[in-house]
A and B are shown apart, each in its own frame.
Chain A
Amino acid sequence: MTDMTSNMNASGSSEDLAAQIAAANSFPPEPPARPIRSAIKRVLTDPLGLVGTVIVVVMLLAALFAHWIAPQNPYDLAVLDILDNRLPPGSESFSGMTYWLGTDDQGRDLYSAILYGLRTSIFVGIASAGIALVIGSVMGLISAYFGGRTDTLVMRLVDIQLSFPPILVALILLAILGQGVDKIIVALVVTQWAYYARTVRGAALVERGRTYVDAARCLALPSRMVTMNHILPNCLPPLIVVATMRVAYAVSLEATLSFLGIGLPVTEPSLGLLISNGNKYMLSGDWWISVFPGVALLLLIVGINLVGDRLRDVLNPKFKD
């Protein structure tokens, strides 16, 4: 509301009158703006957002504690019994253990395999999205901050990068690099950094235009400090949204590449590889070997996307993706 005191003095009224009028006009104060905290709150109060969050949290915990939860270590060949191969869900092994989700062609408990596979998938997804986020943000900030030729160069690079479908870029890189967790993370980073760069640049340009950054400049703060302290926090909301969606995409792309047999090696099977293993038995009716890892993958990706979609609605950054 308006500061009234000066008017009152001008009109020569008593302070008593001013106080009475001020009291009549008092409104509850606006809650302080805390975009990210309130966004989290709003995501959790939305049914779909809550479902997504629960899925993601459960999956993260399952992946983190896979070696405690899993009934067997699926990659310890000593505990596998080939006689148990391709058992349907709910079957019991000779040793009395129940395979709730069935077994694969090597007699491996699918439930355990999925937990371990989940761990690999989530690790690859988060690691690649995280590295891409750092590289992309730095590039975006550089681009926005220096402008001019630097900006043109970086954005040209981003455009070229984005004009190629991610899967094609990943194919090229994996053809060059070969297989392995590190290789696929590199490939995923290369396919993704440009999204972050574009997002951060866009947000930073908006923020840079605002006066408080000018004010900070006038105080002769070193330019790096201005960028980091003032621009970066304000780029966070759009960045969080992009990062959430990108993790989901990275998980999906990794699964796809592994399914195609050019992603992760057989020694570190992710969900994509488990699905691929079961694929050949699908037509003969042993559906569970592919379907259960697929459901896990699906829940993970849909869960992350639900959270991301809600976040986008509540943080509402005007960006194009």
Chain B
Amino acid sequence: MTAYLLRRGGQTLLTLLVMSILVFVGVYLVGNPVDVMISATATPQERAELIVRMGLDQPVWVQYWHFLKGALSGDLGNSFLYNRPALGLIFERMPATLELAFSALFLGLVFGIPLGVIAGLRPSKPESRGIMAFSILGFSLPTFWVGLMMILLFAVKLDILPASGRGETVNVLGVPLSIFTTDGLSHIFLPALNLALFKISLVIRLTRAGVSEALQSEYVRFARAKGVSEWRIVFLHVLKNTLIPLITVVGLELGALIAFAVVTETIFSWPGMGKLIIDAITTLDRPVILAYLMITVLMFTVINLIVDLTYTLVDPRVKIDGGSE
């Protein structure tokens, strides 16, 4: 177990290192952030001073070395744009993004699993065809487009839900959250649904595939031969076999949700990390780009680890060393 965790930790560090080098050098090559930061009327002298102050006159590997030293002590540098610690900016925005991602995940499961079970149990019924048609749409429609249409419909035409912002928040353990106030809920509903749409489709498909596979399995046939009720077959035999593999996907999809929140946050002006990274990319705010990527990758790795550990708990066949008996 310890060896396993150590190995996973080592892999994560390696990934972070490689990625930081790539991004650091890459962004270095693209352009000079000074042009973005300084006003057009600045004298060449002011410009040169700024470059020295930011350390941009040094060779790239020296800059990277400084960055790495800082990173090890938890300092990923100051944002060029805000002149504040990049990590601080990220952490400030993180609760909003996580709240959005988890709400979307929740919606994905709450809608996706029952619909998938229905579609899997009676694949030829009209309601199942309807569900599958919906899931094709959910897969096909670009998130940003659906978000825009939601705003057009619910905020502009019907005027029943707000189109932007987090609304009223409540501090829970020092973290501001929207989901505990009615105003906050009305604000998070559209963005969460928007972000969830793709996941709902995905969960529908996976659940349906799992259910129909389990229904054709020998163990379901054997359970029927035992005289076990259809209700118990579906909710115990079939569902347990379907939901276990779903855990992996759902875990990995949480990462994707955090990444795709970029789009939803932009559309709904949700003040999360996504908005920050888009601004950082367009202004070449290297410290923020790096900090965002490092944090995201770190979150991914932690999520993956939690998923793997959960899997060993719920699937009797899987042991932590990866082999089964």
Q: Can you name 24 A-B residue pairings with CB atoms under 8 Å?
A: A163-B255, A163-B300, A163-B304, A167-B256, A167-B260, A168-B296, A172-B23, A175-B23, A175-B289, A248-B140, A259-B263, A260-B262, A260-B263, A262-B281, A282-B148, A282-B156, A283-B163, A285-B156, A287-B156, A290-B148, A294-B148, A298-B140, A302-B136, A305-B136
List CB contacts (< 8 Å) of B9-36 with chain A. 15, 19, 22-23, 26-27, 29-31
User: In the bound complex, what is the Cα–Cα distance between A171 and B145 (angstroms)?
Assistant: 19
| Pair B260/A175 contact, Cβ less than 8 Å | no
User: In the bound complex, what is the Cα–Cα distance between A246 and B175 (angstroms)?
Assistant: 39
B253 nearest CB across to chain A (Å):
9
User: In the bound complex, what is the Cα–Cα distance between A259 and B266 (angstroms)?
Assistant: 10
B-chain residues with CB within 8 Å of residue A174 when the two chains form the complex: 281
Query: Quick check: is A124 within 8 A (CB to CB) of the other chain?
Result: no
Query: Quick check: is A255 within 8 A (CB to CB) of the other chain?
Result: yes
Query: Quick check: is A306 within 8 A (CB to CB) of the other chain?
Result: yes
Contact with A along B269-293 (1 / 0, CB 8 A): 0000000011001100000010001
| Pair A256/B156 contact, Cβ less than 8 Å | no
Query: Quick check: is A88 within 8 A (CB to CB) of the other chain?
Result: no
Query: Quick check: is B259 within 8 A (CB to CB) of the other chain?
Result: yes
Known: A176-B22, A302-B140. A282 touches B27 (CB 8 A): no
Query: Quick check: is B141 within 8 A (CB to CB) of the other chain?
Result: yes
B-chain residues with CB within 8 Å of residue A298 when the two chains form the complex: 140-142, 145
Known: A256-B143, A301-B141. A165 touches B282 (CB 8 A): no
Known: A260-B278, A282-B152. A301 touches B259 (CB 8 A): no
Pick the most buried of A165, A175, A255, A272: most chain B CB atoms within 10 A of its CB: A175
| Pair B26/A175 contact, Cβ less than 8 Å | yes
| Pair B27/A260 contact, Cβ less than 8 Å | no
List CB contacts (< 8 Å) of B94-144 with chain A. 136-137, 139-144
User: In the bound complex, what is the Cα–Cα distance between A262 and B293 (angstroms)?
Assistant: 16
Please name the residue on chain A nearest to B151 by beta carbon.
Answer: A282
A-chain residues with CB within 8 Å of residue B51 when the two chains form the complex: none
A-chain residues with CB within 8 Å of residue B262 when the two chains form the complex: 167, 171, 260
Query: Quick check: is A261 within 8 A (CB to CB) of the other chain?
Result: yes
List CB contacts (< 8 Å) of A131-176 with chain B. 160, 163-165, 167-168, 171-172, 174-176
B-chain residues with CB within 8 Å of residue A290 when the two chains form the complex: 148
A301: which of B140, B149, B152 is its contact (CB, 8 Å)?
B140
Q: Which residues of A are in contact with B by a Cβ distance under 8 Å? A: 160, 163-165, 167-168, 171-172, 174-178, 248, 252, 255-256, 259-262, 272, 275, 279, 282-283, 285, 287, 290-291, 294, 297-298, 301-302, 305-306, 309
B-chain residues with CB within 8 Å of residue A287 when the two chains form the complex: 152, 156
| Pair B145/A175 contact, Cβ less than 8 Å | no
A-chain residues with CB within 8 Å of residue B29 when the two chains form the complex: 176
Please name the residue on chain B nearest to A251 by beta carbon.
Answer: B142
| Pair A165/B281 contact, Cβ less than 8 Å | no
| Pair A275/B156 contact, Cβ less than 8 Å | no
List CB contacts (< 8 Å) of B150-204 with chain A. 151-152, 155-156, 163
| Pair A297/B256 contact, Cβ less than 8 Å | no
Please name the residue on chain B nearest to A245 by beta carbon.
Answer: B139
| Pair A301/B30 contact, Cβ less than 8 Å | no
| Pair A291/B152 contact, Cβ less than 8 Å | yes
User: In the bound complex, what is the Cα–Cα distance between A236 and B256 (angstroms)?
Assistant: 29
User: In the bound complex, what is the Cα–Cα distance between A87 and B136 (angstroms)?
Assistant: 34
| Pair A164/B281 contact, Cβ less than 8 Å | no
Known: A164-B300, A175-B26, A177-B26. A275 touches B136 (CB 8 A): no
Known: A165-B255, A165-B259. A297 touches B163 (CB 8 A): no
Please name the residue on chain A nearest to B263 by beta carbon.
Answer: A256
Known: A178-B30, A260-B263. A279 touches B139 (CB 8 A): no
A-chain residues with CB within 8 Å of residue B148 when the two chains form the complex: 275, 279, 282, 290, 294
Query: Quick check: is B252 within 8 A (CB to CB) of the other chain?
Result: yes
Given contacts A168-B259, A282-B156, 13 further A-B contacts (CB under 8 A): A160-B15, A163-B304, A164-B259, A165-B255, A167-B263, A172-B23, A175-B23, A176-B26, A282-B151, A283-B151, A287-B152, A297-B145, A302-B141
Please name the residue on chain B nearest to A168 by beta carbon.
Answer: B259
Please name the residue on chain A nearest to B142 by beta carbon.
Answer: A252
User: In the bound complex, what is the Cα–Cα distance between A282 and B267 (angstroms)?
Assistant: 12
Please name the residue on chain A nearest to B255 by beta carbon.
Answer: A165
Please name the residue on chain A nearest to B286 by beta carbon.
Answer: A175
B-chain residues with CB within 8 Å of residue A165 when the two chains form the complex: 255-256, 259-260
Pick the most buried of A255, A260, A283: most chain B CB atoms within 10 A of its CB: A260
User: In the bound complex, what is the Cα–Cα distance between A282 and B289 (angstroms)?
Assistant: 30
